[in-house]
């Protein structure tokens, strides 16, 4: 491949460190597509003959069929997917195969292939996340009235509904989808035709190849086209943030499935047992999702450090751009699928959730709010009065609404019997009907809006 420039071939070490075919063979579909677009343009521009262009296109289809049937062969002497394909094409059609590389370099070729692959990865992530959103919305609709404790610092804070809790993740996943969409929109410019770094002297039509490959247009600077991988970093940043959301959701299920909580029974299909303790049902799928988030963040860091400080244009360091992206995409797809199944198939133990919501004085804020509304007491004073009531109830081991009225009046005479209507968990969640609040009526509104957004309603 290097022609007459070198007197001797590469050493075994150089051969091994230089070869990328073990991982960049994943780009074969994109490489075939980009090559077909390129040769069609060369033929249309008269740079290669129509007969050669047709012969090359037919040969590329034959190579693609072989790859589809048998996989991509790994000949390390050919280094990468680009030379592997060109070599096989030459075996099939002869010398005409050499015309395919006219007016392009492996630099713009790999930049194009990789963009196409990452673009597909954005679309695949979006489709998976949409399915997760559907699962969240369906379960939220079932549990718009199901009361559970809401937490801050993992301490009981205020009652919320399970539907409201699940819809919080619907919102997070929606933002994740928007990040993948933004990344896809930014990367949708075609580097093909930038050649090695300076463009080409052949009369190519870069707009034609860009359109053929579904890009919005060609990139506008040949140096930038072959030297940057910010499109891959955009994908990894979106993937890393998404994995953090998935990890948080996984952690919720891990905690909820533990015996002290007992809020949920996980599906058998996403759980494992113990080799020694027959009673165990371990949330391994959720734990692996939690673990994958660290690996995906590591993939982002790896590519960021690889790209740091590289001078223009192409450097061989950039060959290491693909493994972290491929790894992250695989892990993310598994994580999304696991959490979609978890949400869809988990059995929520709502009586247990409601009982837990009644513990920990979750309606204390409702007492303070009642004092503000009904007794016209400044909130800070109401907060102090409520704290005294909680202390008394705690000392007696009872809930706030179990304290006798006489005891509440002893704390503050402005409290009357109407307060008890505000101290139930049902009253607490119903009262929070502000936009985006946990009240069942608000949860149903958000679920209805989400169903329309997801195309679940006509």
Give the separation between CA 111 and CA 134, rounded to whole angstroms: 35
Give the separation between CA 11 and CA 294, rounded to whole angstroms: 37
What are the structure tokens assigned to 1, written together?
């491949």
Q: Say which residues have a Cβ less than 8 Å from residue 314's Cβ, sequence separation at least 6.
A: 107, 196, 197, 226, 227
What are the structure tokens assigned to 5, written together?
């420039």
Q: Estimate the crossing angle of helix 440-453 against helix 162-187, to 10 degrees.
A: 30
Give the separation between CA 186 and CA 31, rounded to whole angstroms: 21
Q: Which of 379, 383, 376, 371 is nearest to 415 (CA)?
A: 371
- Is residue 143 part of the annotated active site? The answer reads no
Q: Which of 81, 31, 95 is nearest to 60 (CA)?
A: 31
Q: What is the largest CA-CA distance in the chain?
A: 101
Catalytic residue from among 11, 49, 258, 274: 274
For 218, the 3-state DSSP assignment is strand
What are the structure tokens assigned to 110, written together?
């790999």
Q: Where are the alpha helices (DSSP H) in 346-419?
A: 350-357, 364-375, 379-396, 405-411
- Is residue 435 part of the annotated active site? The answer reads no
Phi, psi of 195 (to 5 degrees): 60, -145
Q: Which of 122, 142, 153 is nearest to 440 (CA)?
A: 142
What are the structure tokens assigned to 82, written together?
């680009």
| Catalytic (active-site) positions | 153, 274
């Amino acid at each position: 491949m290097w022609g007459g420039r070198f007197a001797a071939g590469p050493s075994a070490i150089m051969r091994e460190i230089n070869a990328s075919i073990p991982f960049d063979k994943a780009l074969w579909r994109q490489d075939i597509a980009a090559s077909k677009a390129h040769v069609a343009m060369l033929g249309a521009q008269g740079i290669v003959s129509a007969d050669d262009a047709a012969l090359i296109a037919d040969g590329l289809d034959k190579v693609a069929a072989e790859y589809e049937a048998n996989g991509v062969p790994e000949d390390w002497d050919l280094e990468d997917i680009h030379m592997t394909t060109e070599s096989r094409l030459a075996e099939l059609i002869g010398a005409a195969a050499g015309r395919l590389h006219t007016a392009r370099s492996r630099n713009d070729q790999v930049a194009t292939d990789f963009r196409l692959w990452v673009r597909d990865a954005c679309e695949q992530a979006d489709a998976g996340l949409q399915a997760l959103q559907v699962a969240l919305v369906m379960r939220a609709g079932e549990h718009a009235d199901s009361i559970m404790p809401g937490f801050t610092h993992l301490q009981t804070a205020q009652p919320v509904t399970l539907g409201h809790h699940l819809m919080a993740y619907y919102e997070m996943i929606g933002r994740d989808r928007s990040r993948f969409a933004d990344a896809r929109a930014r990367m949708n410019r075609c580097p093909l035709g930038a050649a090695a770094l300076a463009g080409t002297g052949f009369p190519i039509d870069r707009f034609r190849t860009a359109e053929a490959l579904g890009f919005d247009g060609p990139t506008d600077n040949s140096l930038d086209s072959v030297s940057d991988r910010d499109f891959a970093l955009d994908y990894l940043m979106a993937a890393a943030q998404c994995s953090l959301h998935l990890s948080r959701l996984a952690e919720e299920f891990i905690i909820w499935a533990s015996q002290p909580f007992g809020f949920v029974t996980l599906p058998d299909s996403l759980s494992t047992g113990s080799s020694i303790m027959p009673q165990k049902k371990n949330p391994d799928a959720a734990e692996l999702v939690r673990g994958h988030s660290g690996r995906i963040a590591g993939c982002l860091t790896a590519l960021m450090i690889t790209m740091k400080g590289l001078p223009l244009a192409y450097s061989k360091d950039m060959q290491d751009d693909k493994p972290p992206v491929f790894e992250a995409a695989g892990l993310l797809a598994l994580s999304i699928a696991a959490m979609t199944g978890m949400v869809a198939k988990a059995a929520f133990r709502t009586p247990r959730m409601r009982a837990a919501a009644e513990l920990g004085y979750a309606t204390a804020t409702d007492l303070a709010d009642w004092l503000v509304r009904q007794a016209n007491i400044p909130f800070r004073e109401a907060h102090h009065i409520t704290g005294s009531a909680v202390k008394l109830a705690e000392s007696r081991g009872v809930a706030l609404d179990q304290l006798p009225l006489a005891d509440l009046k002893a704390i503050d005479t402005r409290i009357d019997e109407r307060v008890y209507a505000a101290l139930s968990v049902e009253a607490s969640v119903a009262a929070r009907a502000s936009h985006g609040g946990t009240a069942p009526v608000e949860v149903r509104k958000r679920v209805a809006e989400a169903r329309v957004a997801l195309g679940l309603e006509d």
